[in-house]
Structure 1
Amino acid sequence: MRSDLVVAASKVIPEPPVLINLVSARVKQLNNGRSPLVRVDYRMGAADIALTEIIEGKIGIADKAKEA
């Protein structure tokens, strides 16, 4: 996992526990065969892909307060 991606993703999702849960859930999906939502370099691991998806706004956390 690249630290520069973690720093960039933490600017999008500033709460560390939420970021960890989102990355973990997406890594599980990717490892179970889901397709990446971003262009993948052969050197990228599942966590790097998940972090890049967060940085590019492809995945995120739904705000329940806005939905209500």
Structure 2
Amino acid sequence: MRDEYLYAAAKVINDPYILVNVVSRRVKQLRRGSRPLVESLEKLAPEDVALREIIEGRISYELGPIGSK
């Protein structure tokens, strides 16, 4: 995982717990065959693709109501 991508994504999603969850969910999707939402001239790890998608605003998230089942 590239540090510069991690720091840039942390500016977009300030809460580290939410950032970890968003990245891990997207990495699972990419490993299952989902297409990346960003283009790259070099081969990137799924973690770096997910971070770039966050940085470029291609991925968003919503918080559910607290205590929902």
Superposed CA offset, 1:6-51 (max 9, x none): 0000000000000000000000000000000000343310000000
Query: Structure 2 length as normaliser, TM-score?
Result: 0.86
Q: Secondary structure at the match of 1:43?
A: coil
Alignment correspondent of 1:55: 55
Alignment correspondent of 2:12: 12
Distance (Å, rounded) in 1 between the aligned partners of 2:23 and 2:46: 9
- Provide the aligned C-alpha RMSD in A: 1.4
Matches within 5 A, 1:23-62: 23-62=23-62
In structure 2, list runs of 5 or more residues that go unmatched. Answer: none
Query: Structure 1 length as normaliser, TM-score?
Result: 0.87
Instruction: Give 1:61 shift.
Output: 1.1
Q: Pick the structure with more helix per residue.
A: 1
- Which portions of structure 1, spanning 4 or more consecutive aligned residues, are displaced by more than 3 angstroms? none
Comparing 10-19 and 40-49, the one that deviates more: 40-49
In structure 1, list runs of 5 or more residues that go unmatched. Answer: none
Distance (Å, rounded) in 1 between the aligned partners of 2:42 and 2:9: 20
